[in-house]
Chains A and B, each alone.
Chain A
Amino acid sequence: MANALDRIKSAIAGNKVMIFMKGNRNFPQCGFSAATVQIFEQLGAPYETMDVLSDPEVRDQVKAYSNWPTIPQVYIDGKFVGGCDIVRELYETGELQTMVKGATGQAATN
């Protein structure tokens, strides 16, 4: 199995919208992870998740990779976008919709 850093990099490179979270989209294990997934569900754009609870090495190394101390972490088009509160703020200003559309070429539904 690739080491944690390679798994992080390929997940980010391989998915236009990548969310490192606690749990998964159907069973989020933390309120902030749940709220973040909820935003992308509302946008209706495709996204991939990785459960850091089942991969402690990734859980630590993704924080160093982005210089961001908490989970969830959202990456769009290979770029770190933020955690729950920044994603929520971007959603409220409409910037997130623009970023997602730019990355996936798919208009956000709302």
Chain B
Amino acid sequence: MDPTELQQMIERGLPGAHVEVQDTTGGGDHFEALVVSDKFEGKGLVERHQVVYATLGDAMRARVHALQLKTLTPAQYQNRR
């Protein structure tokens, strides 16, 4: 899977989110992603990651071996810049 495909899947599942995806090994199955969405408000880390995994459905089981996630609300993302 290439990073853009993964990015589009997350964006389709989380409309309005800011998503950046990198392939960390070049092998098409280890990724790192930054996801910024207001859907994360009031959610802990586990829940936030589960929201992102839910947008990937079966792809997460079959084609993505590892996905390291940074999940921020828009406010957190602003403070980081």
Q: Do A and B come from one complex?
A: yes
Contact status B49-A86, CB under 8 Å: yes
Q: Which residues of A contact B75 (CB under 8 A)?
A: none
Spot the interface stretch: B9-17, B35-43, B61-69.
B61-69
Q: Which of A56-94 contact B (CB under 8 A)?
A: 67-70, 80-86, 89-90
Other-chain contact of B46, A32, A69, A80 (Cβ < 8 Å): A80
**Interface size grouping (class) on chain A:** 10 to 19
Q: Which residues of A contact B53 (CB under 8 A)?
A: 68-69
Contact status B66-A82, CB under 8 Å: no
Q: Which of A70, A80, A89, A90 has the most CB of B within 10 A?
A: A70
Instruction: Tally A-B pairs: CB < 8 A.
Output: 25
On chain B, the number of residues with a Cβ less than 8 Å from chain A's Cβ atoms is 11
A32 to B61, CA, bound (A): 17
A82 to B50, CA, bound (A): 10
In the complex formed, the residue of A with least CB distance to B59 is A69
Q: Which residues of A contact B (CB under 8 A)?
A: 32, 67-70, 80-86, 89-90
Pairs across A and B, CB under 8 Å, 7 listed? A67-B50, A68-B53, A69-B61, A82-B46, A82-B49, A85-B68, A86-B46
